[in-house]
């Protein structure tokens, strides 16, 4: 869970910047070594930025840094 919390804390300030997008979130997540990219890719297999906004990221410890579209922020789950 601490991995997801750390990533959420890194991504949430970015959501407040102008022109925030899923590509900027993904780029920032790439700097986090604890992201499990195969699991993240599988979780977001049907990801559509037009509908979903941003992807959620699966962490190596099994927790998820989940995008909450209604709140326009990330949360650790």
pLDDT in tens, 22-41: 999 999 999 999 999 999 99
The CA distance from 62 to 64, in Å, is 7
Domain interval for residue 28: 2-76
Identify the pLDDT of residue 10: 96
pLDDT in tens, 38-66: 999 999 999 999 999 999 999 999 999 99
Chain centroid to Cα 73, Å, comes to 9
pTM of this structure: 0.92
Residues 6 or more apart in contact with residue 61 via CB below 8 angstroms: 1, 2, 3, 4, 34
Q: Give percent above pLDDT 70 in the chain.
A: 100
When divided into structural domains, the chain yields a total of 1
Kindly report the backbone phi and psi dihedral angles of residue 57, in degrees, each rounded to the nearest multiple of 5, phi listed first: -115, 130
């Amino acid at each position: 869970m601490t991995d997801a919390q750390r990533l959420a804390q890194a991504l949430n300030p970015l959501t407040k910047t102008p022109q925030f997008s899923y590509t900027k979130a993904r780029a920032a997540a790439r700097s986090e070594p604890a992201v499990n990219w195969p699991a993240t890719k599988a979780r977001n297999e049907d990801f559509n930025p037009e509908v979903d906004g941003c992807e959620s990221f699966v962490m190596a410890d099994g927790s998820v840094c989940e995008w909450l579209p209604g709140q326009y922020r990330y949360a650790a789950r």
